[in-house]
Amino acid sequence: MFAEKPPTVTQPSYYAALKNSKTIIISDDEYDVFGDGSVIMKLAPGHTPGHQVLYLRLARTGGVVLSGDLYHFPEARTLKRVTIFDFDQAQTPVSRDAIEAFLIKTGAQLWIQHDYIGNSRLKKAPDYYE
């Protein structure tokens, strides 16, 4: 993120103010943000070295996992396809298996951010999930 020569696809000016902000280094596979299990960051490397997914336990909606780039499309999940531009193509399936096990354990929904059809069905502001 703060490399001397950042990757060409990034815009360092968008997050430059973060460089000197308070930082928590997460060294575990899972980080419980509030200590109550309602928001959990889970390590899912492969797409990038430090890729993570976010679990939210919502009172009425239940558990939701925001996949980030773990899967780009639902077909990647069903067909077990890994994009050619993943940082570590061997690690991606390992991370996916771990997150799939977490989904089963928690009964959470998986929301795939690049899924146009799935996202078109989600509530948008001013509507919200509880």
Structural domain boundaries of the chain?
A: 25-118
Average pLDDT, the chain: 92
Indicate the pTM of the whole model.
0.84
Q: How confident is the model at residue 34 (pLDDT cuts 50, 70, 90)?
A: very high
For residue 14, the one-letter residue type is: Y
Output the pLDDT for position 77. 94
Output the pLDDT for position 46. 92
Which residues are 97's β-sheet partners? none
Residues 6+ apart with CB under 8 A from 19: 2
* Superfamily of structural domain 25-118: Ribonuclease Z/Hydroxyacylglutathione hydrolase-like (3.60.15.10)
Q: What are phi and psi of 42, to 5 degrees?
A: -120, 130
Percent of the chain surpassing pLDDT 70: 99
3-state secondary structure the chain: CCCCCCCCCCCHHHCHHHCCCCCCCCCCCEEECCCCCCEEEEECCCCCCCCEEEEEEECCCEEEEECCCCCCCHHHHHHCCCCCCCCCCCHHHHHHHHHHHHHHHHCCEEECCCCHHHHHCCCCCCCCCC
pLDDT tens track for 41-90: 999 999 988 899 999 999 999 999 999 999 999 999 999 999 998 999 99
Q: How confident is the model at residue 27 (pLDDT cuts 50, 70, 90)?
A: confident
